[in-house]
Structure 1
Amino acid sequence: MSPINSINLSRIFSKLDKNGDGHVSLDELKGFLDIIGIIASEEELELLVGKTSLDSIDFFLFYDAITKAYIKQSSYKHDDHRQNDFLENDLQKVFGVFDLNGDGFICCEELQSALSRLGLWDEQCGKDCMSMINVYDKNSDGKLDFEEFKDMMLAN
């Protein structure tokens, strides 16, 4: 899981705060988590965050906590084969978020749609959509297959 910068976190928070009240309800948070493939009930989320809604600071702290938990879980000493299986499974789930039509490829339109749903799309991104894909598109077909996507996600 790559850390998201504060600008993008603010954009995500604004997108999730559908009624503009400065708080993200657990229902709004659950909807976002469902989109990215993390299934949790509102009851589980309330137990986790201890509140029925999050202001922007709480949202940033929530993100920080789940990121640290994920990193800790990922660094837990499993044998290499098992750890690779976990990583592969996580990447397959994330790939599915982007591969909207399920054809096994991510095209420019799917990338734009997924980034829009996550609150990470803007006009500047739109101008660079194809170039973002081309960086990792090894076979130059204009789209990313899973292996190319995996290379992109694992690049440092």
Structure 2
Amino acid sequence: MAHPRDSRVSFQPRDQFGRSHEPNPQEALDINQTLSEEQKKDISQAFTLFDQDRDGYLDYHELKFGLKALGFELPKPRVYDLLTKNGIAPPWHPPNEPCPGPSLRITTQAFEAIATTLIASRDPREELSRAFDMFDQDGDGIITLEDLRIVNSTIKQGTTASDKDMANMIAQADLTGKGGVDREEFIDMMIAAKRRRGY
């Protein structure tokens, strides 16, 4: 006998009151267009990674950790609020019966919309400051060639940069000749690069 989840494709998503709830494709498209390709990929990967039972939905815990992977460490009440406002009754829930909050599930489209809203509300300088900390391996407030070498060693083969390329990156951003890039230089450089790329 097939598990009720196996037939989920034939079901219409329903809200917590058992009503049909089909996401608006145009709305999802509009939301998607505000994201960079890298952000879309990050969101998709977070959903896939934390959909641990591979049912195509995120429960409360999966939602919490999926958002955490994207850099949003939200308090439990906030995550629960997002679940109750954006969640749907899963296909295996009895139709026309109210679905209690903890049993609600988040679809890919809902996760995308939640993540997009959170990303849009971020302060770009704060985001770049967090990125700086990832590169500043020894925490001395300056990204040096050695820091870049360490980060570079963790990247898969074929996408790594040469020492010469990394030294050039440092030289272009190091405005005071200190042999590395400080936080403000890094943030200014990244903002300028985003403007050149048109976002």
Corresponding position of 1:11: 45
Counterpart of 1:20 (choices 50, 54, 63) is 54
Maintained 8 Å contact 1:136/1:149: no
Find out whether 1:64 has 2:116 as its counterpart. yes
CA distance in 2, matches of 1:142, 1:22: 48
Number of aligned pairs? 132
Letter in 1 for 2:160: K
Give the CA deviation at 1:44: 0.8
Corresponding position of 2:129: 92
TM-score (norm 1): 0.54
Maintained 8 Å contact 2:51/2:57: yes
CA distance in 2, matches of 1:129, 1:17: 37
Corresponding position of 1:30: 64
Higher helix share: 1
Deviations 1:16-70 (A, max 9, x none): 33443333344344335445653312321120242354232222121222234x1
- 5+ residue gaps, structure 2: 1-33, 88-103
TM-score (norm 2): 0.46
Q: Secondary structure at the match of 1:54?
A: coil
- 5+ residue gaps, structure 1: 75-86, 114-120
Give the CA deviation at 1:122: 5.8
Residue pairs, 1:6-155, within 5 angstroms: 6-34=40-68, 37-50=71-84, 51=87, 52-68=104-120, 70=121, 88-99=125-136, 101-106=138-143, 107-108=147-148, 109-110=150-151, 123-124=157-158, 126-128=159-161, 131=165, 134-135=168-169, 137=171, 138-139=173-174, 144-155=181-192
Give the CA deviation at 1:129: 7.9
Q: Percent identity?
A: 23
Letter in 2 for 1:3: L
Q: Secondary structure at the match of 1:45?
A: helix
Deviations 1:69-108 (A, max 9, x none): x17xx6xxxxxxxxxxxx6555434433554542324533
